[in-house]
């Protein structure tokens, strides 16, 4: 592999990595902070992508469509969490197995539902910035990667600031640390958690739009992103948002380098390989407590 | 042990019935469908050893199944090995895979094991796609040998083989359940820390369960290439196996070996009927919806529902009796 090729791969990896952080940030909140075994997160992501596709059919820009869908996804997330809480968390017993099976079933239903409505064909969106690219010296940076990069970076930074600087954000961090203490302070942990889960789901609308800007989408894509999102969330150290960005970049660069040196068919295994390695060597992740 | 004898008798009866069917039923499709139902009995039973008894959820049953299938393919291509060798090799190799995944992640919380099994599924699929010898992504056609003596067709023979594997799996699951291993696994499911403190060798038991569970799934996959006489990665690694292997025990009831058998026979039969009469997509949707409905509304599965029904009838009868007595006393 020549140095130029390597540099190109790393640059592409950085662009991709920021996007991976954006798709994983909802999981970092839901799984890392709230301890919900949210296997259905990637399925919601694909749902967001199809939402952007559907609105795009009416001429709406995918990014605007993603933004327009966030309130809907927020409410959906609140609903899912309330249901999950009522069905599993309140009783507590055997919640691990049942919660996992529940979200797995939900993910499966979303996937099959999408297949029934849209078919298994790949779908894509049109926007003025898709197809163009920016020349940087000898390197060409396609805008369909640069735009997700910028939006993903903004989203990740904004959410990190929200969690560390605002009152509501700190409440979410507090509920992750000690739920009982929060209850003793007179706050309702369930309401804080449903707010946080709503935000986590709302990120799927925006990240889903980025997903479909980056490339064509098909209903089964969610399964691939189970590996990527959990890889990033675990590598980050559960619940750490700056860690999520770092972990996303690591995964992006690793995948991009493997892609250029071994071929595209090996790329899907990279995320899972890193995930297994992290679980075996350092399950607390990079920035874990 | 009267229960043991009765189980043995039932197992022998099932085997005789399977053999008798191959000589009485004319319709070849019956064996095609029957094979699939039995295959899901094995998968569901195998899943339940780790998932139901110990509470560790495996999302990658398809991977273990596929490793079994591709072990068989490799053996057919390289050595032209007989079916029995294929099944045993698949059993061992998938068991090894189960042990490996378990050793990596069973020290951690349950969800990490679950995610790791998804990881294993994708990694195995990637490896097979890139492995030319067994057909890669394009797949490989495999010639069915001539039907052995006593059998009209090879599919009928495979039907009996799968019945044997199913009986072996159920017997193994039943043995685990009633032995000290099952008691230890249940203790892990209920409270792992407490079990560890009470001296239960939790990691060893979990590893044993993961190994056996994986091995049985591999054995279920071994006859698959010959059954289909064609193999390609997408269908073998299909999510349908992973979902079904998990949904069937949960729907049937995870607490006993009977649950997965009930769930598998019921659900796989319904799937076969829906696939033929309506559509194959609808049948996967049915499984997903049933899974969520049972997990939420009836976590003990059909077994739990049946138990509750019997108990409530018993209580009702008891209450009725008490009231009768009361009336009798007053008069």
| Mean pLDDT, range A108-121, rounded to an integer | 87
Say whether residue A97 is in contact with chain B using an 8 A CB cutoff: yes
Which range is least confidently modeled, A24-28, A57-61, B160-164, B236-240?
Answer: B236-240
- Inter-chain residue contact A98 with B122, CB threshold 8 Å: no
- Inter-chain residue contact A279 with B292, CB threshold 8 Å: no
Cα–Cα nearest to B221, from B126, B83, B127, B116: B83
Q: Pick the residue of A92, A97, A264, A283 with the most B CBs within 10 A to test the interface with B by mutation.
A: A97
Residue A198 has pLDDT above 50, yes or no: yes
pLDDT of residue A289: 57
Q: What is the pLDDT of residues B58-70, one digit of tens each?
A: 988 999 999 999 9
Neighbours of B256 (CB within 10 A): 20
| Mean pLDDT, range B233-250, rounded to an integer | 86
- Inter-chain residue contact A116 with B57, CB threshold 8 Å: no
Residue given tokens 């979990």 in the structure block: B206
How far apart are the C-alpha atoms of B42 and A229, rounded to whole Å? Answer: 32
| Mean pLDDT, range A212-239, rounded to an integer | 87
Residue given tokens 């679980």 in the structure block: A279
- Inter-chain residue contact A39 with B284, CB threshold 8 Å: no
Say whether residue A48 is in contact with chain B using an 8 A CB cutoff: no
CA A134, A221, A259: angle at the middle one, nearest 5?
50
Closest CA in chain B for residue A276 = B116
| Mean pLDDT, range A195-199, rounded to an integer | 94
Domain presence at residue B255? no
Domain presence at residue B204? yes
Distances (CA, A) of A33 to A107, A289, B60, B85, B246: 21, 12, 26, 49, 27
pLDDT of residue A95: 57
Residue A258 has pLDDT above 60, yes or no: yes
| Mean pLDDT, range A208-234, rounded to an integer | 88
- Greater model confidence, B44 or B271: B44
- Greater model confidence, B50 or A5: B50
Domain presence at residue B60? yes
Closest CA in chain B for residue A270 = B123
| Mean pLDDT, range B12-41, rounded to an integer | 87
| Residues 6 or more apart in contact with residue B182 via CB below 8 angstroms | B53, B176
Cα–Cα nearest to B68, from B97, B99, B100: B97
How far apart are the C-alpha atoms of A152 and B166, rounded to whole Å? Answer: 50
| Mean pLDDT, range A77-101, rounded to an integer | 81
* Position A93 confidence tier, pLDDT thresholds 50, 70, 90: low
| Residues 6 or more apart in contact with residue B97 via CB below 8 angstroms | B63, B64, B67, B120, B214, B218
pLDDT of residue B237: 84
Neighbours of A33 (CB within 10 A): 22
Q: Which two tokens stand for residue B84?
A: 């029995």
DSSP string, B262-285: HHHHHHHHHHHHHHHHS-HHHHHH
* Position B319 confidence tier, pLDDT thresholds 50, 70, 90: low
Domain presence at residue B283? no
Closest in A87, A113, A268 to B122, CB measured: A268
| Mean pLDDT, range A2-19, rounded to an integer | 88
Q: What is the pLDDT of residues A133-152, one digit of tens each?
A: 777 777 777 888 888 889 98
Domain that holds residue B149: 2-239
| Mean pLDDT, range B66-94, rounded to an integer | 91
Question: Do β-strands B230-231 and B140-141 pair in parallel, antiparallel, or remain unpaired?
Answer: antiparallel
Q: Which two tokens stand for residue A69?
A: 């869908």
Closest in A97, A272, A276 to B51, CB measured: A97
- Greater model confidence, B135 or B84: B84
| Mean pLDDT, range B316-323, rounded to an integer | 52
How far apart are the C-alpha atoms of A217 and A22, rounded to whole Å? Answer: 17
Distances (CA, A) of B115 to A35, B52, B68: 14, 17, 21
Distances (CA, A) of A31 to A194, A222, A239, B115, B175: 13, 17, 7, 12, 37
pLDDT of residue A288: 67
DSSP string, B190-205: H-HHHHHHTT--HHHH
Question: Do β-strands A139-142 and B140-141 pair in parallel, antiparallel, or remain unpaired?
Answer: unpaired
* Position B330 confidence tier, pLDDT thresholds 50, 70, 90: very low
Residue B329 has pLDDT above 90, yes or no: no
Distances (CA, A) of A200 to A68, A74, A237: 16, 8, 17
Q: Which two tokens stand for residue B305?
A: 């529902």
Q: What is the pLDDT of residues B130-158, one digit of tens each?
A: 888 887 788 888 888 877 877 888 888 89
Residue given tokens 């890392």 in the structure block: A32
| Mean pLDDT, range B42-53, rounded to an integer | 93
Q: What is the pLDDT of residues B206-218, one digit of tens each?
A: 999 999 999 999 9
Residue A187 has pLDDT above 70, yes or no: yes
Q: What is the pLDDT of residues A16-53, one digit of tens each?
A: 999 999 999 999 999 888 888 888 999 999 999 999 99
Characterize A86-105 residue by residue with b for buried, 16 or more Cβ atoms within 10 angstroms of its Cβ, and e for exposed. Answer: ebbbeeeeebbbbbbbbbbb
Residues facing B246 on adjacent strands: none
Q: Which two tokens stand for residue B235?
A: 């269908």
User: What stretches of chain A adopt beta strand conformation (E)?
Assistant: 133-136, 139-142
Partners of B189 on chain A (C-beta within 8 Å) are 94, 97
Domain presence at residue B249? no
Residue A161 has pLDDT above 70, yes or no: yes
Q: What is the pLDDT of residues B170-202, one digit of tens each?
A: 999 999 999 999 999 988 888 888 888 888 888
Tell me whether residue B68 is exposed, middle or buried, using C-beta atoms within 10 angstroms of its C-beta: 0 to 12, 13 to 18, 19 or more: buried
Distances (CA, A) of B314 to A16, B255, B307, B328: 63, 22, 10, 21
* Position B315 confidence tier, pLDDT thresholds 50, 70, 90: low
Do B207 and B102 contact (CB within 8 A), yes or no? yes
Residue B287 has pLDDT above 60, yes or no: yes
Residue B1 has pLDDT above 60, yes or no: no
Query: What percent of chain A has pLDDT above 90?
Result: 33
Q: Which two tokens stand for residue B209?
A: 């369960």
CA A14, A285, A214: angle at the middle one, nearest 5?
30
Residue A2 has pLDDT above 60, yes or no: yes
- Greater model confidence, B54 or A132: B54
Write out residues 262-281 of A within 8 Å (CB-CB) of B: 265-266, 268-269, 272-273, 275-276, 279-280
Residue B324 has pLDDT above 50, yes or no: no
With H, G, I as helix, E, B as strand and everything else as coil, classify residue A136: strand
Neighbours of A61 (CB within 10 A): 19
Domain presence at residue B327? no
Distances (CA, A) of B294 to A89, B138, B275, B310: 16, 38, 22, 19
Torsional sign, CA B192, B196, B199, B203: positive
Q: How far is A7 from chain B (nearest CA, A)?
A: 26
Domain presence at residue B16? yes
pLDDT of residue B2: 57
Average pLDDT, rounded, for chain B: 85
Q: Which two tokens stand for residue A230?
A: 């959990």
Residue A217 has pLDDT above 70, yes or no: yes
pLDDT of residue B60: 87
Q: How many separate domains does chain B show?
A: 1
* Position A266 confidence tier, pLDDT thresholds 50, 70, 90: confident
How far apart are the C-alpha atoms of B152 and B80, rounded to whole Å? Answer: 22
How far apart are the C-alpha atoms of B112 and A284, rounded to whole Å? Answer: 12
Closest CA in chain A for residue B246 = A101
First to last CA, chain A: 38
């Amino acid at each position: 592999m020549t140095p130029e090729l390597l540099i190109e791969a790393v640059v592409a990896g950085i662009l991709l990595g920021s996007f991976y952080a954006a798709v994983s940030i909802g999981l970092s909140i839901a799984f890392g902070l709230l301890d919900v075994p949210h296997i259905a997160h990637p399925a919601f992501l694909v749902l967001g992508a199809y939402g952007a596709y559907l609105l795009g059919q009416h001429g709406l820009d995918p990014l605007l469509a993603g933004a327009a869908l966030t309130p809907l996804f927020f409410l959906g997330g609140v609903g899912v969490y309330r249901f999950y809480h009522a069905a599993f968390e309140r009783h507590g017993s055997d919640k691990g197995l049942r919660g996992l099976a529940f979200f797995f079933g939900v993910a499966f239903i979303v996937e099959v539902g999408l297949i029934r409505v849209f078919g298994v064909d790949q779908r894509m969106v049109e926007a003025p910035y898709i197809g163009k690219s920016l020349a940087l010296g000898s390197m060409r940076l396609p805008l369909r990667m640069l735009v997700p990069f910028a939006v993903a970076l903004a989203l990740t930074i904004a959410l990190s600031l929200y969690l560390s600087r605002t009152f509501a954000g700190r409440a979410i961090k507090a509920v992750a640390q000690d739920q009982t203490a929060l209850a003793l302070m007179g706050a309702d942990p369930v309401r804080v958690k449903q707010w946080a889960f709503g935000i986590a789901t709302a990120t799927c609308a925006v990240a889903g739009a980025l997903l479909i800007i980056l490339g064509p989408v098909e209903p089964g894509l969610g399964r691939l992103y189970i590996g990527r999102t959990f890889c990033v969330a675990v590598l980050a150290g559960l619940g750490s948002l700056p860690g999520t960005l770092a972990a996303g970049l690591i995964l992006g660069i690793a995948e991009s380098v493997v892609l250029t040196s071994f071929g595209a068919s090996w790329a899907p295994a990279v995320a899972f390989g890193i995930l297994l390695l992290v679980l075996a060597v350092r399950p607390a992740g990079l920035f874990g407590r | 042990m009267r229960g043991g004898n009765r189980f043995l008798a039932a197992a022998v009866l099932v085997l005789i019935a399977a053999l008798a069917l191959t000589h009485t039923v004319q319709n070849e499709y019956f064996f095609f469908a029957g094979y699939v139902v039995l295959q899901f009995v094995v998968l569901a039973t195998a899943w339940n050893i780790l998932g139901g008894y110990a509470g560790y959820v495996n999302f990658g049953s398809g991977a273990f199944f596929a490793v079994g299938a591709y072990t068989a393919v490799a053996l057919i291509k390289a050595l032209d090995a007989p079916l029995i060798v294929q099944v045993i090799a698949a059993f061992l190799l998938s068991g090894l895979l189960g042990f490996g995944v378990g050793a990596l992640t069973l020290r951690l919380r349950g969800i990490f094991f679950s995610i790791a099994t998804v990881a294993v599924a994708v990694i195995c699929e990637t490896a097979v796609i890139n492995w030319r010898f067994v057909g890669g992504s394009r797949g490989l056609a495999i010639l069915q040998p001539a039907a052995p003596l006593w059998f009209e067709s090879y599919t009928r023979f495979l039907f009996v083989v799968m019945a044997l594997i199913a009986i072996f799996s159920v017997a193994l699951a039943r043995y685990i359940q009633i032995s000290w291993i099952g008691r230890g696994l249940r203790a892990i499911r209920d409270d792992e820390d407490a079990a560890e403190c009470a001296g239960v060798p939790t990691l060893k038991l979990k590893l044993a369960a993961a190994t056996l569970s994986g091995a049985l799934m591999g054995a279920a996959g071994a006859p698959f290439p010959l059954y289909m006489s064609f193999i390609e990665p997408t269908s073998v690694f299909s999510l349908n196996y992973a979902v079904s292997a998990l949904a069937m025990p949960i729907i049937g009831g995870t607490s006993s070996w009977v649950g997965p058998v009930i769930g598998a026979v019921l659900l796989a039969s319904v799937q076969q009927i829906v696939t033929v009469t309506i559509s194959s997509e609808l049948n996967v949707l049915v499984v997903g919806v049933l899974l969520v409905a049972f997990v939420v509304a009836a976590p003990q599965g059909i077994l739990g529902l049946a138990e509750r029904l019997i108990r409530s009838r018993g209580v009702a009868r008891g209450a009725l009796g008490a009231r009768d007595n009361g009336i009798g006393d007053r008069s």
